Structure 1
Amino acid sequence: MTDLPASAVPYPALRLDDAGRVVELNALAEAVFAVDPLGKPFGSLFDEASALPSTPDALRDWLGEGRPLAVHDAHGQARYQARAQVWGGGALVVLVSLTVQGPREVDVDLLAKAVDAANISVVLADLRRPDDPLVYANEWFLEFTGYTAEEVVGRNCRFLQVRNGERDDAGDGQGTALDAIRRGIAEAEHVGGVVLRNYRKDGTLFYNELYLTPISDETGGVTHMIGVQNDVTARVEAQREREREAERLRDIFAASAAPLGLLERQPDGTLAHVLMNEVAADALRLTDADLRAGAAATHWISAAATAARSGEPTRLDVTRDGRTFEVLLSPVEGGAEGAPDRFLYVAADVTAGREATEDLLHVSNRQLRQIAQNVHDGVGQSLAGAAMLASALAADLAKSDHAREAERLRDLLISAQAQLRSFALGLDPVDLDRIGMGEALGRLAAEAEAALGVSVAVRDLVREAGLRDELMLDVYRIAQEALTNAVRHGRADEVQLVLRHDGDGDLVLIIDDDGAGISEAAAHNGGMGLRTMRARAQRHGGSLEVGPGDDGGTRVHLRLPPERLT
């Protein structure tokens, strides 16, 4: 049905594209408009242009209610009921005339049947008679309100405002709407889209969106007013419920002692605040300008994209005036295409915890060095001496019956000495400042290949000295943990390490493996190993991201700012 041409419709008809622009119209529709509608937004063709929704989805819903619209042609103003018959990659909009101007050859019975068959309420008031009584109400109006024609004709339509014998004519915009109706009738002018609280015969409340259009006789004098009514109860109640929910949310935010904020994704992909409590405003001082451009915007947009993809909360750090806040960003609401477009965040001041972690890591590095030194100077020296004695013993027993056992003892002690040396180097990779980060990673790769049975390739694109010892040691530890995780958890066969600088001067270490991969949730809410890796990056002002690789497996992405490298 979406392919039905406008020319096949026996009424003025226009086809719209998915942006709401006219792409086709039939000859009947051409006669309606004084200008060529092709290529123009549908709403711009009518007198109510400023009131019409601008987005395709909202326009679809609006037209779906069979709205009356006015257009000026060669004969003056004409009124039409516009209804979107089809919507899906576009729309087919049919216009049914609601205006009678001058003598016409028309089958009155057919016209009455057509109005009665319309799924919209239509009434006609005689302005020439006292109190502007109704002289006609179509079947839809009667069926919807529960009144009979005899109960309606001859009465002013204000009876719809009466409930239990009392008139509802004030409060919540009712008085303003009634004033607009009175002014339109008094001045014989069009009244568009006022919403009233009305009541059916049984007292049931409904919200009535009313359009009034004056009807003139042959002399140009206004004699009647046609009213087209739409039941918009569901729309109004939904809006009221949204307002109540928003108020409840504001109360929750105001009562919270934690920094809370609600962000919404904008059409250009940036984020903007829907709500933020005072605690968040004072602590984070995160403005919408910060979220539109710059490093902060990139950080938040990336975190929101990750949360949207995974459906799980995402963690990010925000630093203000020397204080560090850990922010948990959670997707909370779906957009038109199902992807979350709103995100709730809660922040916690983790400055003291991060400082404690910094102290713990510093002490841990120092203790590991001490353990490595003790192993080297104690057990290592003893093993070295035992290996020398074993070598001498093997030489002495070379021609005896115990030669093979002596050689085996020598080899075992030499192997144990090498393993202990490797263990000590793992605890404290010596001479990092002398050999450089790339060489240290190369040695780590060789040890991993020997100990873990995995193929490791290293590309060092930095090749510079001068990096701080503590920083190089933490980078080494991160790579060490990533290699272990790739084999232990990912069951990888191949791992690639790339050390480079990016365009901003940041030091970047990327570790890719071909293992089983990692879920978004596990990557952002991982165990102690991942938290320690992130803590090592954060103590140098850096960041560490873990997630699925481009070609499967897992990618670990470490980034350290240039001002913290030396």
Structure 2
Amino acid sequence: MLGIALKNLSRRAVFIAGGLLVLVVISGTAVALWLYRSAALAGGEWHLKNIAVALAEQTRQGVLTVDIALRATAEEYSGQVAAGVFSEQVLHRGMHQRVAELPQLRSLLIISPDGRLVAHSEALPVPPVNYGDRDYFAAQRDARDPRLFFGVPVKGRVIQEWTHPVSRRISGANGKFLGVATAAFAVPYFHEVYRSLELGPMGRVFLFRRDSILLTAFPQEGAELGRSFTAHALFGSAMPAASSGVLRTTGLVDSHPRLIAYHSLPDYPLVIAVSSTTDYVLREWRRQSLYAAVSAFAAVAVILLGAFLLARQLRVAQELAGEVAEAERRWLGAVEAAGHGVWDWDVVAGKTFRSAHYHQMLGYSDQEIPASREGWLQLIHPEDRKLAHQGNQACLDGRVDTFSTELRLRCKDGSWKWVLNRGTAVSRDARGRALRVLGTITDVTEHQQAQQQLRDSEARLNAIIGSAMDAIITVDEHQNIVLFNAAAEKIFRCPARGAPGREAIGAPLDRFIPERFRAAHRAHVERFGATGVTMRRMGENVVLAGVRAGGEEFPIDASISQVEVGGEKFYTVILRDITERQRAAAALEQSHRELRELYGVMHEVREAERVRIARELHDELAQWLTALKMDVSWMAARLPKDLTRLVDRTARMKEVVDTTVAAVRRIAADLRPVMIDDLGLIPAIEHLLHEVSQRSGILVSLDAKVHDVEFRDPLATAVYRMVQEALTNVARHAQASLVEVILKCDGGDLMVQVCDNGRGIDEAALRKGKSYGVLGIRERAQTLGGAARIFRSAEGGTTVEITIPLRAHQRRQATA
């Protein structure tokens, strides 16, 4: 009987609780709807107020730009009146330009003191129109301060459109009334702005003067422009209390309940009013109220039905309590052994529960994996079965509570997947043997593959480092060696691993650096580490040196890189022994020096041979030709005058002898200019330029600023020959009309420039190096220790620039 009473009491409590819940739902819904309605109205007020403020600011900006144009027009007109030079055309041009620049402005006009139209932005000349009856004209005429006046909308008398006039008084220097400057706002300008607002189907926007006169409205239906609204609450109570706010009242032009937000412009006597109907503001609240009411009734029905079902199920719940507790323990145990695939092994029953993800991981359906332990062992790779069995058996025997093994399981498609199998014994018998084991499997295939790739990568890296021809040495932050490859062992003649004190690994890098370079090298590595640069070449400006194990120094070429591993920096140096390379470079330099010396000797020998040939031509051949000329002249003087043919023949012989003598002298001069020996280098070059100009017709000039320099052979001859070769190239190839030769001293160097205004040298042909004249100039310059550069000038033409160090030649001449 007591049990029945307890059950009846429980059922009664359920129904009472259900009734209370129904009451709470209904009352809570009512309160929530009331609060939501208040919030909706507050949100509507906030929204409308923001719109009013934004429209006020937009209107202020629009009026400000028009006011600027209006002021400029008034000042321009008053300036013309004051100067007595009124020009309607000039005034019209400025007004029309200002109207074109402002989209909100329809026209600008100037009205004289008697009301006549003086100037109009849209008409030239202006028609005979009078504006003396306009309200803004009367207001500005009678006003004493130049304030901006906003008139009621009117239809224009020139452009025949409805506009909003804004005017300013034009006064002279003594305050005399000169007229009215008026700007006409385009009515569509305000309407286009107001049309874009979301105020609902009956929403309205008004623009008032601060004295409650309506200037414009959107939509305009039912709104009487120019009407005063002093009696409305907006101007009767709201505006005197605050310049900006929201009020709940009837509409300005209708009787609908509305929210009206207003904002006064701080700089102008204007008020923006924005209104929406209360029905529109609460539209969303009504929809939500319907949903809330339906939901509340549904909740009441559910509560009542739930109370009935709950009372019915109280008896069943007691019977299921034991099973629910067991299911809860199983679930909590599985969660504590969290993993990707969950399994639960009932050792006594010999069955295993596996989660759906366990099967999905291997590609099986829920019933395809056998529930027995033997069936599970068949899924394990043969090489991993022994390890898996040992781990499970240790847990079953009580030697361990948990186990974890990595093994391979066969997927449904025949592939093998690496998994991490972990298990925990959650219950044991009196002898300590496991009765139930919970566990998880986690897919670690990618981890195993990554480890294998890492091992393969390390093997390849070790093979590369071991077979590298260059020495590779890695040091830690303290510059102790951690890697020393086979090439490094060979170069430094020190084993990487060996007897303590003799091996390279673990030794400081300073061991293989000459003592005089150790401090600088350590500082260089530290600076390099601080830069964060990945790699840098070492020893670009100085020669690096290493020390072999036996103490022998040798030159090296090296580069350094850095990497950060686990928060610690490691530096890797790749270097090579360049002893043989330096020997080869020295031998090559010696060969080049000997070739230059040989080339210089060859030039000297050739010049000497030219001198000898020129002397023989001058001393012997020229004298014999002179004697021959004298004999021919003697014969011609003694021939009878009637032997005309013989007289003519002797005259021609005399001309041939003269030509031959001139040719011999020219050849002798070309072989060895006598003027170099007699007068010096500068007169010889002047003579050379004169001859070139005579033969080619090219205008040649010389700018010599080296009068304090004494030129001797072989320098004088070499400079002469280089200038001669450059002029020959100009005459043959440049097609120039002007050549300038410049000799000057730049520091301790002699600079020779030959510049022409021809077609310019071909860069491609110059790179091929097949011009023997160019090669000759360069070889002569290099023989003298200088250099020659040939390039196309920026102004056109070609420049040959030769630089020769004078000090070395002066020392050589002094030694000689």
Question: TM-score of the superposition, structure 2-length normalised?
Answer: 0.29
TM-score by length of 1: 0.41
Greater helix share, 1 or 2?
Answer: 2
- Which of these two proteins has the greater Rg computed from alpha carbons? 2
Which structure features the higher share of strand residues? 1
